[in-house]
Amino acid sequence: MSTDTPRLRPPQHRVDPRAVRWWTTRSLAVTVPLTVIPVVPALLWEPVRPWFLIAAAVIGCLGLLITVVMPQWRYRVHRWEVTDTAVYTSSGWLWQEWRVAPMSRIQTVDTERGPLQRAFGLSSVTVTTASAAGPIEIAGLDHALATRVAEQLTETTQAVPGDAT
């Protein structure tokens, strides 16, 4: 086996620690409205009040559990690395995935910053490959680092022979 051949292995770099707060905030942005929705009919309609309050409590407890556990767990799992030959990622929290994208298979490199990511100074880098598995996303990088990674990937893929198919 050639030393240039990318191998499936754990990536070395963690995402930015601010990603934990970003994931927590995203989870709360879903949990809070979903918890409040059943409270409104409970306040307006006496006969079903207990059932809607139970529903709100269950949704709130599950949402809170996910909000507390998921960001920490994802931070422990999410890793990334870019070498001269490949992009390595590890992601997920319930369903975990390791991916390797050889430079010769990369078609596009994009960065994304939603409003919440901007608030935390974060960005995501998406690497689209000639793969049925879809693009690779490195979410939760410092914005300046994400920009450098995108530039490095663009330069490296332009220098690698092949048509990315």
- pLDDT tens per residue, range 58-110: 999 999 999 999 999 999 999 999 998 899 999 987 888 989 988 888 999 99
**d(Cα 150, Cα 63) in Å, to the nearest integer?**
34
Greater model confidence, 163 or 114: 114
Nearest residue to 67 (alpha-carbon basis) of 106, 99, 107, 28: 28
pTM, two decimals, is 0.84
CA distances from 132 to 101, 128, 139 (A): 12, 10, 20
Q: pLDDT, tens digit, for every residue of 126-159? A: 999 888 888 999 999 999 999 999 999 998 888 7
**d(Cα 61, Cα 73) in Å, to the nearest integer?**
18
pLDDT band at residue 165 using 50, 70 and 90 as cut-offs: low
The structure tokens listed for 140 are 């939760």
Q: Tell whether the model's pLDDT for residue 40 goes beyond 70.
A: yes
